[in-house]
Amino acid sequence: MKRMMIPLALTLLTLTLLTGCVVVPMAPGGSVYSPPLPPPLAFQAPPVVIVIPDTDNVYVVPDISADLFFWNGFWWRLNNGFWYRSQYTSVEL
C-alpha cells in the first residue's frame, strides 16, 4: 500500500505545482478550515534522500513511516489529504 501512495502523492504534488492551484478548504458558514498538523517526524541529522526517476529533481526520504519529499527548496508531506511544506527538517513537517 505504501508503495502505491508514493506515485500517487508525487502525481498529486506535480499536478498541484504545475497548475499553480491553491485549494483553501472552507468550513460550514464560510470560515477557513485549518487542518490539524501531522504528527512530527524526528531527525537527528538531515535525512537521506533519493531522487525519484523521471522527475524534475524530486527527492523522497526512504524507509520512514510517512511520505516525505524534497523539491524546489522545500520539504513536502502529505497527511490525511492535506499537503504541508517546510524549509526545515528541524521543525514539524
Identify the pLDDT of residue 4: 53
Instruction: Walk along the chain (93 residues) in steps of 10 and give the mean pLDDT of each run.
Output: 58 51 57 79 86 94 91 91 83 47
Contacts 24+ apart (CB under 8 A), 63-69: 65/41, 66/38, 66/41, 67/2, 67/5, 67/6, 67/9, 68/41, 68/93, 69/9, 69/10, 69/13
Say what the pTM is: 0.60
